[in-house]
Structure 1
Amino acid sequence: MSNPQRIASYWDLLEPIWDQIDIYTNPETFLAQFAQLPQAVGDLYAAHWLVSEVVNGAFPQFFSNSTGVLAPEALIAFRRIGLTDAADITEACMTFFGDSYPRDRAVRATMIDWVWAETLSEDDEYNLDILLDLSSQFLDAIGKDQNVFNLAADEYANRYRASLK
């Protein structure tokens, strides 16, 4: 006999807080609001954003957009969720920004906007190839149609829910 209990989606934890976190204004606002979330909810929020951006347009898009503010949180989240390959790949991409990851979008833009140039230098082409290859590896790590990510995120959400009972 099958188990009639439905395994809820991790999105059930995100939906109620989705509009409460401001990733657009500045890093300080984001960090203050993010700090108010339960750890598991914050982890799922950060991981979901990174996955969505990389699926939609690779790591250069993630870093160029406001969502890039939460890269350090997404990196930690992937480790906590159990997706170490995704975490390692994210960490490798973050090294393009040096030792201290810039949360400020304008700072990141000056460091990554070469990606969108009409003509790239040989070094920039090489670096873009690396970022796109890492993006492809990341997509492999989260599974076709994000199934590996979704399963791991659902399991993580269910562990969090169980800890509340």
Structure 2
Amino acid sequence: MNVFKSPAWNRLERNWQNGFDTLTLYEQETIALYWLETETMNGTLDQFFWNSSGDMAMLAVSGLNRVQAPLTLAALTSALAVFGDQYSLERTERHAALEVIEDQYGPDVFLDASRIIQDLPEDFVLAAVEQLATLYAQQDRSRAA
């Protein structure tokens, strides 16, 4: 199944057009999981953290918990642990922390965790979209009642 052609993904994209802040928590988590997968597959977790997608790291954590993806969650949380208390949702602060981390641990600091996610041990985006499909169906039934 191509999740990005599903009715639930299409509805999420339509809702997203109204702004990220207008989305429900589940929708925001689904977007965060999409970016986690996309950025990590395209580069590594370093790319996820460096780009604006890193603003959604905590949403990705809660989304992975929600869809019960323990292997991916463990990989992401191990990478976040490298930041200690320094992980910031503010990009400029996060960039500064990343530079310190890479100077201290080297450029491949997130490689092991990234490889786990790149192996896609759990299809967490599909799971999140399937949960949204169920939620959307419930909302539609409630409106029709």
When normalised by structure 2's length, the TM-score is: 0.78
Partner AA of 2:14 in structure 1: P
User: Residue 43 of structure 1 contacts residue 76 of structure 1 at CA under 8 Å; is this kept in 2?
Assistant: yes
- The number of aligned residues is 136
Equivalent in the alignment of 1:71: 57
Q: Identify unmatched segments of 5+ residues in structure 1.
A: 1-6, 23-32
Identity fraction in percent: 27
3-state SS, counterpart of residue 135 of structure 1:
helix
Per-residue CA deviation, residues 47-78 of structure 1 (Å, 9 max, x unaligned), is 11111111111100111111111100111011
Aligned to 1:159: 134
Give the C-alpha shift of residue 152 in structure 1: 1.4
Contact 1:85 1:141 in 2 (8 A): no
Q: Do the aligned partners of 1:9 and 1:157 also contact (CA within 8 Å) in 2? A: no
RMSD over aligned CA atoms reads 2.5
Identify the match of residue 12 of structure 1 among 10, 13, 16. Answer: 10
Q: What does residue 41 of structure 1 align with?
A: 27
Verify the 8 A CA contact 2:16 2:23 in the aligned structure 1. Answer: no
Kept in 1: contact 2:86–2:97 (CA 8 A) = no
Question: Which TM-score applies when normalising by structure 1?
Answer: 0.70
Q: What corresponds to 1:132 in structure 2?
A: 111
Distance 1:13 1:101 in 2: 32
List, as ranges, runs of 4+ consecutive aligned residues in structure 1 with deviation greater than 4 Å: none
